[in-house]
Structure formats: structure tokens, C-alpha cells
Structure 1
Amino acid sequence: MRRITPAKKSRFVQMLENAIEAEGGSQKAFAEKHDIGQQTLNTWIVSGRVPTKQFHQRLRDVLKITQDQLDELLAEVENRRAAAYEASVAQEPPNGRIAGGKMPENRDNSVPVLGRAVGGELGEYEFNGEALDWVMRPPSLAGVGDAYAVFVDGESMVPRYRPGETVWVHPHRPARKGDDVVVQLHRLDDSHEPPYGYIKEFVGWTSNKLILQQHNPSKKIEFDRESVKSVDTIVFAERV
């Protein structure tokens, strides 16, 4: 499964991690203090994403640098991410193809595999709408035209799901407490980026939050309701 996260840390990430360490080492506390958002901070550090302009003033203050210096750091981040993406494209077949480069003859008997693995502690995926592969359609998804599957990547849901397994998703079945789901989220800090998401256990909703459970390490995860694009129920899983 393709990853586009650069292998080594950029100077920006190194400086950011040093700033976090200088303030006690907690990403959560750092994000709250500087009004950044822990998930946003995590995408900068783990996924190599480029901060949008709305965060530039805060980053200049935190890192004690000028805008020109910040622009130079972020240009390096962008160049490294682009290079990592080009390398990943060269190593793998195009999205939307199955083994041998052929599309399935009968789409009624198959569903697309969506969600390009990004990684990180939470097991992030990017949902850009492109099919990574096509897999068989289980009976539980017969007639569900927009059903899809996701390749499990990372160990955030071990022992429930392990890397290499496939989960099949029903996008219209309401999630109940204890159901496993694929949650897709809007990037509120950058509307031009595709949605991202995670495989997690559904706990429930509050008035303004979505509550999920991660298994490894075990912890509750919250997302603002306004950032949630969809909560899609997993109905079948198998190692294929």
C-alpha cells in the first residue's frame, strides 16, 4: 500500500518537536496552548503536511522565526512530500487497477478499495476517491452501489484488526455503539485537501463531538462534529 510520508524528518518538524519538548513534551498540551488542534499538529509531524496560512503567525511566534524563514522551511516540507509521492508512484501500479492491471469485468460482484494509507499513531488514511484495487463483494453488501473496502494498515486496532486484513464497509448502515467504523473527516484547515479518516470503534455522539475508541494503544478519540464527513459501518472483514 502506497505511503507518501517522507522517511526523514524535515527541519520544520525537528524545530516543532524541539518546541514541544521545551514546553513539556506533550503534543496535546502544546496544541491546546497554541490553539492549533491536536489532529492538525499530528498531520504536520507524522504525515508531512504543510501548514496553511492561518497558522503562520502562531508558528512564527512558537518557533521564533521570521515569515521568510518559515516560508523556507515549509517549501522544504512541500518539496520532500512531492518527492516522496513521485517515488511511491514509480514503485506501485496506478490506483484503480487490480493485479495484472485489469479492471473487473463485472463490477456487480466487486467493490473498490479506497483509502490510501498515510500512517501515524492513529492509522490515518486519505480518501481521494481513487480505487487502489477491487475485491469481491460479500453477500451483506449486495445491491449497495457505493459500498467499498479498506486495506488495514498499521496496528492501531490490534487485536481487532491486523495489518494485511481487508474490511468491507456499508456507508448507509447506522453505526451502533461497539460497531467498527471507517470515519471520514473534512480537513477544516485546508479545503483543497481530500478527506482523511481512520478505522476505529464507534462509541457515540455528543452535542458537538464524535467519540471513537482505539485499541492499540487503548484510548478514546474525539472529533468535532462539524469536521465529520461520514461514519461508515464495517460489516465484514477477512485476510485476503
Structure 2
Amino acid sequence: MSDLTDWHDVADRLVQMKRGAKHRLAKHLKMDPSYLARKLGKGGGLTIKESQAIEEFLDSPDEAFASAEAMTFTPDSRAVRDEPAHLRVPVYGYAAASGGDRIAFNTGEIIDWMELPMGMAPRGEVFVVRALGSSMEPRIFDGESLVIQRNVPPTRDRDALIEFNDGSGVVKTYKGQRDGQVFAHQYNEDRELRYPATSVKALHTVFCRL
């Protein structure tokens, strides 16, 4: 039986390994590196499947590193690392308890993982949300997948995910802030929205639709 029961245990073991161990473990678990980093920092119980997979990685570090560091060579002898062509990111999208078009937005509500199209590389940390409701139609439709840049502030008239302190979020067109209010716009029905700035935890830019 594995002696790993908490993500903090995993973090302690990784400290003793070679540089790059976290990145290699993320590959082994098929997990986004930034999501793994949050898990290691926050701690929390491991599932049996996670514990077994991590033990497998830790028990054979040399094999794991050799596999991850495998290289191929082009005819002109330049070394090329065998890196994945797609970025794998978490997907959020359950309806929050408040109902309506609010998305449950926290690490406990990841509903899937998605590989972004080849060559797509938005700057910073990114994730995907599934839009809920028809309030943004015809600009954004219910169920569409949106690539979000975490903590990249939106410019005026840019679509954004507005994250609230209660862990929920909404996708709207950002209009600015003043007098302690965050202003946004929706299209169905067409109207301006105001949210108390004290209720808003963060603003994240919508990079594109998939």
C-alpha cells in the first residue's frame, strides 16, 4: 500500500529529486503543470489512482527522466526534444449553485481536460470554460468552449470571465470600472450589468472561442 496520502507528501518527495521533476511528473500524470503546481502547494488527499501513478513515477525516476528526455535528431544533427505539440488545459463549466449563467470556477470543479489546437500558445496560464446560458448570444453561444487567459486584465469591449469571491464566474463583455463598480454588457437581453467591485475576485480575458 502506498505511503503517499497527501499532495504535500508528494511535494516533499519531489524536492529530493533532480531539477525538472515536477514537469516530468505532470507529463506522467497527463496533467497541466500549472494545475499540478497548485495541487502541490495547496495540499489535499490523493485518490488511490493518483497515489499509485505517483509511486510508479517516484520508484523509477531514472526511467522516467530517460523517457522524458528522449531526443531525436534531424539530418543536420540538430537535437530536437520530443515535446507534445498540443497544450493540455483544464475545463470548467458546471452551473454554480446560484443558477443562471454562472460557472462554478474553482479547482474542485474541473469537468474535463482539453488539448488546444496545434500552435495555439496564449501567453501565461490558460484554461477553458464552457459557456452557460444564452445571455451572450449571438456573440457567444451556450456550450461553446472559451480559452481563458488567467489574470490577464481585459481591455474595454473585450469578452472576459468575471470571477467572484464565492467561486463562481460569468462570461460578459467588459466595459470598465468606476465608483466601486465593475461594468459589463450582455446581448440577450441587451443590457448593461454592474457588479460591486468588492464581490469580484479577478478578471480574466477570453482569448478565443473553440
TM-score, with normalisation over the residues of structure 1? 0.47
1:122: how far off? Answer: 4.9
1:163: how far off? Answer: 1.7
For residue 200 of structure 1, the aligned residue among 167, 172, 179 is 172
For residue 102 of structure 2, the aligned residue among 124, 130, 136 is 124
- Report the secondary structure of 1:204's partner residue: strand
Cα contact 1:141–1:170 (8 A) shared by 2: no
Separation in structure 1 between the aligned mates of residue 147 and residue 181 of structure 2, nearest angstrom: 25
Separation in structure 1 between the aligned mates of residue 122 and residue 191 of structure 2, nearest angstrom: 34
Write the letter of the residue equivalent to 1:237.
R
Matched, 1:226 2:198: yes
- Report the secondary structure of 1:117's partner residue: coil
1:108: how far off? Answer: 6.5
Q: For structure 1, list consecutive stretches of 5 or more residues without a partner in the other structure.
A: 1-105, 188-194
Q: Aligned-pair RMSD on alpha carbons?
A: 2.5
For residue 131 of structure 2, the aligned residue among 142, 152, 155 is 152
| Correspondences of 1:1-240 after superposition (within 5 Å) | 109-118=87-96, 122-129=100-107, 130-138=109-117, 139-142=119-122, 144=124, 146-187=125-166, 195-238=167-210
1:140: how far off? Answer: 4.8
Residues 160-195 of structure 1: per-residue CA shift (max 9 Å, x gap)? 0112310000113221111000111013xxxxxxx1
Q: For structure 2, list consecutive stretches of 5 or more residues without a partner in the other structure.
A: 1-83
What percentage of aligned pairs have identical amino acids? 24
Separation in structure 2 between the aligned mates of residue 118 and residue 213 of structure 1, nearest angstrom: 20
Cα contact 1:174–1:233 (8 A) shared by 2: yes
Separation in structure 1 between the aligned mates of residue 192 and residue 97 of structure 2, nearest angstrom: 18
Moved over 3 A (4+): 118-122, 138-143
Which protein has the bigger strand share?
Answer: 2
1:124: how far off? Answer: 1.1
Separation in structure 2 between the aligned mates of residue 149 and residue 218 of structure 1, nearest angstrom: 25
Alpha-carbon spacing, 1:214–1:143, altered in 2? closer, same or farther (3 Å) = closer
- Report the secondary structure of 1:116's partner residue: coil
Cα contact 1:152–1:166 (8 A) shared by 2: yes
Alpha-carbon spacing, 1:217–1:121, altered in 2? closer, same or farther (3 Å) = farther
Aligned position for 2:57: none
Alpha-carbon spacing, 1:215–1:120, altered in 2? closer, same or farther (3 Å) = farther
Separation in structure 1 between the aligned mates of residue 199 and residue 152 of structure 2, nearest angstrom: 20
- Report the secondary structure of 1:203's partner residue: strand
Which protein has the bigger helix share?
Answer: 1
